[in-house]
Chains A and B, each alone.
Chain A
């Protein structure tokens, strides 16, 4: 027969089983409860029935939801800035310059020193040069071509008269 501390632990276990069935059944006729203290059983039933559950106001609920959404967005922001890629050092080896190399002298005739290349700039320079040449050719062609309109003829005559002595 259990004594002292054991008795209270056994009673507590019986109470716990009863509460499990009471709260799960959500009604006041649970299956368990055999050997349970009558006062404990009645108090359990009273508390199950009488202790209300509270819900905050709808206004508070939505206000807190907005605060949480803002906090979540702030948490997401640092990750999104670099999350899709990774930081990696770009290999750009230091050129091995010959002794006495003068950076101000144009070395194009003799070619670049070993390893001293700018692949990114190269394409841009070629494209820019091509555009410049095309532009110059168009201007030369346009100037050599005389316009047949009366206005253009009048303008050319006025231009020719300007250089002559009065």
Chain B
């Protein structure tokens, strides 16, 4: 999983080391700014995560493709506006290109929803069909498919923000700080959102709650 890189700068022996946030995509972003044709590297890197996010949100392959295309076209034409404003106190992963891109995706998807008045209820069946079956283990695959469908349904029943946070965390593997950047919330709020979402999913999946394990 890609994690932000930190390095220390300054005279480490005389003063306290200063943490400087480094965006892993910085070289690619700078290259794309110099020559827009170099945007392709960023596109190939983030196509699947953005598409996954759109598919979970919209529940339709065509709608997800459309949203993905508009997200990347908007990112390319507005790349000059992207500013890496990460500060050490913002936490790891704040205001990186990835966060910026997912924020664009989130806006595109919200607009799609507003115009089409679509609700993500359909993807659950499609998800189970999308799981590649193992022909040598038919019974095991059937069980796995059922479990996957159950998980999908549980996630699909969550309110919008909780579902979005879970998908960004588990599918796109964004950090809490990155999700906070995408959703425009504080890190603490996102942590609570995820925790509550997981408790709801656990309840939906019938996981017994004997209490806190200490």
Chain A residues at the B interface, C-beta cutoff of 8 Å = 8-9, 11-13, 15-16, 19-20, 23-24, 26, 35-40, 42-44, 46-48, 50-56, 60-61, 64-65, 67-69, 71-73, 75-76
Contacts and interface: CB of A to CB of B under 8 A. Distances in A.
Interface string B125-162: 00100110000000000001001101110010000000
Given A51-B171, A73-B37, A24 B198 contact: no
A136 B139 CA distance: 102
Nearest to B175: A20
Contacts of B169: 19, 23
B43 A43 contact: no
Given A39-B209, A54-B48, A75-B76, 8 more contacts: A9-B188, A23-B1, A23-B173, A39-B203, A52-B171, A64-B47, A67-B69, A69-B37
A60 B37 CA distance: 18
Nearest to A40: B198
Give the dominant DSSP class at A's interface.
helix
Given A50-B151, A54-B51, A68-B76, A44 B198 contact: yes
B202 A12 contact: no
A54 B49 CA distance: 8
B195 A67 contact: no
Q: What 10 A-B pairs have minimum CB-CB distances, sorted nearest first?
A: A39-B202, A72-B36, A43-B202, A12-B195, A50-B151, A12-B191, A50-B148, A39-B207, A43-B201, A15-B195
A60 B76 contact: no
B132 to A, nearest CB: 9
A37 B199 contact: yes
Nearest to B80: A75
A72 B39 contact: yes
Interface string B59-74: 0010011001100110
Contacts of B192: 8-9, 12
B170 A16 contact: no
Given A23-B173, A42-B207, A68-B72, A15 B194 contact: yes
Contacts of B37: 69, 72-73, 76
